[in-house]
C-alpha cells in the first residue's frame, strides 16, 4: 500500500504533465464527481477508477479538486489496482483488454464494472462473488460470456446488465436468471454451433422466462441471431404486468405473434426488426397512449407495411421505418 500511495503522490506532483492545461477544463463526466470536494490522496481511500484513458492521467484526475479532465488512452492495466479494495467503480472501457486481471476477485466492493469496448470473451467465475455489483456493462461484439455460477453465489443486487452475450451454453437457468432486480437489460443471443438449434431454442425460452420475472424492468433490448448472423427466433411472453417498462428494442422473429397483448401500455419507445409481423396482425394492435417513438429496420416489405399501419393510429412524436 505504501508503494501505491507513493505512486499516487508522485503522479500528483506532476499532474500538470499528465493532464495538459488546455484539457483541464473539460466537464464531460461532472455527474460522476462532486465539485469542490477534495478527492482522497491515499490509495486505500479511492473508490472510483476509470481506465477509459491513460492511467497516470486517471490517477491525477482522482487527485484534482476540479471536475475531471479529458484523458488519454491506457496502454496497460497496472497490477496495483488490485490493492484498491474499496473501489466501487472500475471502468475498463476502450482498453481492449483480452481478459480480466486476476485481481478482480479482490474488488468485492465494486458496484459498477464497465467492460464496453474490451476483447474479453469469458468472464471469470469470481464475477459471481461480487455481491455488491449493481451495474455491469459488457461488449456483445466480443461475446462477453459467463461461466456457470457456484451454488452459494449470485448477482442478486444487479440493476443493469447490458451487452451480455448468450449462446447455447450460457448459464441462464439457475444462473443469470437469479438476478431479479434488473432495471436495464440488454442481451444478444446467437448460436455458436449450427447443430445446436434445439439447445439454443431452449435457451431462448429460458431467457423469456427470465424476462417475465424481472418486475422492475424499465428498458429491454433483446437480439437473436443464427450462426450466420441472420435474425432468428425471439420467444416473448406477456409483459403487461411490467408497468415500469418504457423502452423495448427487439431484433428477431417473434414466435409469439400476439405481441400486442404481450407489451405493457406504458411503452414510450418501441423498435423492432425482422419481426415477421404481418399487416393483419398489426391492425389488431391497441393504441399505446404514452408511445412517443416507433421504429423498425425492416428487411421485408411486409414489415414495412405493418410499420405504416402501426404508425397511422399511434400518437407519436417520432418514427423511423428504416427506409
Q: What is the pLDDT of residues 84-123, one digit of tens each?
A: 888 899 888 877 788 887 778 888 899 999 998 888 888 9
Per residue in 147-178, pLDDT (tens digit) is 898 777 889 999 999 999 999 999 999 999 99
Full domain range(s) for residue 141: 2-231
- The CATH code of the domain that includes 181 is 3.80.10
Three-state DSSP at 310 gives helix
Please work out, in degrees rounded to the nearest 5, the angle formed at the alpha carbon of residue 251 by the alpha carbons of 247 and 252: 135
Write down the residue that cell numbers 483480452 correspond to.
98
Q: Are residues 274 and 223 part of one domain?
A: no
316-321 own/partner pairs: CB under 8 Å, 24+ apart:
316/291, 316/292, 317/292, 317/293, 318/292, 318/293, 318/294, 319/293, 319/294, 319/295, 320/293, 320/294, 320/295, 320/296, 321/295, 321/296
Q: Are residues 171 and 65 part of one domain?
A: yes
Mean pLDDT along residues 209-213: 96
Q: Are residues 220 and 306 part of one domain?
A: no
The domain boundary, picked from 187, 202, 231, lies at 231
Q: What's the sign of the alpha-carbon dihedral 120, 123, 129, 130?
A: positive
Q: Are residues 152 and 274 part of one domain?
A: no
Q: Are residues 217 and 310 part of one domain?
A: no
Mean pLDDT along residues 250-279: 83
Of residues 63 and 221, more confidence is placed in 221
Neighbouring CB atoms inside 10 A of 174's CB total 12
Q: Are residues 169 and 97 part of one domain?
A: yes
Q: Are residues 106 and 17 part of one domain?
A: yes
The domain boundary, picked from 231, 256, 289, lies at 231
Mean pLDDT along residues 128-152: 88
Q: In the structure, what pLDDT confidence band is assigned to residue 44 with cuts at 50, 70 and 90?
A: low
Mean pLDDT along residues 210-219: 97
* pLDDT for residue 164: 94
Q: Are residues 113 and 65 part of one domain?
A: yes
Q: Are residues 166 and 67 part of one domain?
A: yes
Q: In the structure, what pLDDT confidence band is assigned to residue 311 with cuts at 50, 70 and 90?
A: low
Q: Are residues 145 and 47 part of one domain?
A: yes
What's the number of domains the chain is made of?
2
Q: Is a pLDDT exceeding 90 seen at residue 283?
A: no
The domain boundary, picked from 207, 231, 255, lies at 231
Q: Are residues 310 and 220 part of one domain?
A: no
The pTM of this model reads 0.75
Q: Are residues 123 and 21 part of one domain?
A: yes
Amino acid at each position: 500500500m505504501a508503494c501505491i500511495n507513493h505512486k499516487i503522490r508522485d503522479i500528483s506532483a506532476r499532474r500538470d504533465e499528465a493532464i495538459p492545461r488546455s484539457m483541464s477544463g473539460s466537464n464531460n463526466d461532472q455527474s460522476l464527481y462532486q465539485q469542490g470536494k477534495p478527492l482522497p490522496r491515499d490509495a486505500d481511500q479511492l473508490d472510483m477508477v476509470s481506465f477509459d484513458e491513460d492511467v497516470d492521467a486517471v490517477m491525477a484526475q482522482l487527485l484534482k479538486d476540479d471536475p475531471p479532465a479529458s484523458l488519454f488512452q491506457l496502454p496497460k492495466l497496472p497490477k496495483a489496482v488490485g490493492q484498491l479494495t474499496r473501489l466501487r467503480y472500475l471502468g475498463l472501457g476502450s482498453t481492449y483488454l483480452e481478459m480480466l486481471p486476476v485481481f478482480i476477485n479482490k474488488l468485492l466492493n465494486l458496484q459498477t464494472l464497465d467492460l464496453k469496448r474490451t476483447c474479453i470473451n469469458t468472464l471469470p467465475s469470481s464475477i459471481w462473488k461480487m455481491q455488491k455489483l449493481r451495474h455491469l456493462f459488457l461488449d456483445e461484439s466480443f461475446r462477453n460470456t459467463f461461466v456457470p455460477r457456484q451454488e452459494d453465489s449470485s448477482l442478486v443486487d444487479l440493476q443493469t446488465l447490458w451487452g451480455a452475450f448468450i449462446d447455447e451454453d450460457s448459464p441462464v437457468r439457475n444462473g443469470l436468471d437469479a438476478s431479479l432486480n434488473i432495471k436495464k437489460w440488454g442481451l444478444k443471443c446467437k448460436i455458436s454451433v449450427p447443430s445446436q438449434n434445439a439447445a439454443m431454442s431452449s435457451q431462448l425460452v429460458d431467457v423469456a422466462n427470465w424476462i417475465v420475472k424481472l418486475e422492475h424492468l424499465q428498458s429491454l433490448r433483446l437480439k437473436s441471431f443464427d450462426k450466420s448472423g441472420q435474425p432468428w427466433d425471439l420467444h416473448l411472453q406477456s409483459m403487461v404486468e411490467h408497468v415500469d417498462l418504457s423502452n423495448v428494442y427487439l431484433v428477431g422473429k417473434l414466435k409469439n405473434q400476439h405481441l400486442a397483448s404481450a407489451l405493457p401500455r406504458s411503452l414510450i419507445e418501441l423498435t423492432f426488426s425482422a419481426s415477421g409481423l404481418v399487416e393483419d396482425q398489426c391492425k389488431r394492435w391497441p393504441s399505446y397512449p404514452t408511445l412517443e417513438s416507433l421504429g423498425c429496420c425492416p428487411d421485408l416489405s411486409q414489415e414495412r407495411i405493418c410499420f405504416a399501419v402501426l404508425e397511422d393510429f399511434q400518437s407519436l412524436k417520432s418514427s423511423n421505418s428504416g427506409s
